[in-house]
Amino acid sequence: MVVSGDGDLTAIGGNHLIHAARRNIAMSVFCVNNGIYGMTGGQVAPTTPLGLNTVTTPFGNAENPFDICKLVGAPAPPSWRAGPPTTAADRQDRKKAIQKKGFAFVEVISQCPVEFGRKTGMGNSVQMMEHYKQNSVSLAKAKTMAPEELTGKIVVGEFLDINKPELIETMAAVRAKAMASGGGD
Ligand SMILES: Cc1ncc(C[n+]2csc(CCOP(=O)(O)OP(=O)(O)O)c2C)c(N)n1
């Protein structure tokens, strides 16, 4: 199990993340996404919304943010996004992700009142939580909404749940082939 920030997972460890997903390694990854490098003082992250002022983008962020669930979903491992507050449904998702064979990914939307809320004018932790709560839309509802209605919304739910052999299984199959051919150890 891996619990990490959005900066560590999508910037500093971005390469590890996409290849762990691609190789379908038996891991459950929980990304606590506050949209910023919080611990180091509020620098822009690959998840920071376009146009946002941060310590390193004082006149606005010129870059588009990653949609992390789509990013890890590209090689088709399961992925979920959970918006606050934690509901029973969210907890079910998290349980499912832990029990999932192969790679599983959960993005948890989180507030960073000190480095994000205070500097962007979103307010304190309660106000940020309220904002995220009010702007979270279930995947089922999002499917009925027009793209313009979804601007600024956080779509939450189960994005993908596909069963594929995990890396250890595919490696065992290759090893068995090598052994049968006499080329293995
Ligand atoms: C390889 C490496 N580069 C840079 C750092 C410095 N560093 C520590 S935490 C951090 C930002 C983490 O941001 P995030 O993962 O979003 O977590 P948050 O603090 O927002 O919860 C950075 C750049 C580091 N620890 N390791």
User: How would residue 75 be classed by pLDDT, with cut points 50, 70 and 90?
Assistant: low
User: How would residue 37 be classed by pLDDT, with cut points 50, 70 and 90?
Assistant: very high
Nearest ligand 1 atom to the CA of 110 is 21
Per-residue pLDDT averaged across 9-38, rounded? 94
Residue 184 has pLDDT above 60, yes or no: no
Nearest ligand 1 atom to the CA of 9 is 15
Mean pLDDT of the chain: 88
7 CA distance to ligand 1 middle (Å): 6
Please indicate whether residue 39, judged by its CB atom, sits closer than 6 Å to ligand 1.
yes
Tell me the pTM.
0.88
Per-residue pLDDT averaged across 116-144, rounded? 90
Please choose from 2, 15, 40, 54 the residue to mutate so as to test ligand 1's pocket, defined by most ligand atoms within 8 A of CB.
40
For the chain, which residues make up each domain, given as ranges? Answer: 2-180
Please indicate whether residue 54, judged by its CB atom, sits closer than 6 Å to ligand 1.
no
Please choose from 6, 8, 119 the residue to mutate so as to test ligand 1's pocket, defined by most ligand atoms within 8 A of CB.
8
More confident residue, 28 or 87: 28
Q: Using a pLDDT cut of 70, give the percent of the chain over it.
A: 90
- Written as six digits, the tokens of 154 are 């956080």
Per-residue pLDDT averaged across 105-118, rounded? 90
Q: Among 3.30.360.10, 3.30.559.10, 3.30.70.20, 3.40.50.970, name the CATH number for the domain at 2-180.
A: 3.40.50.970
More confident residue, 160 or 31: 31
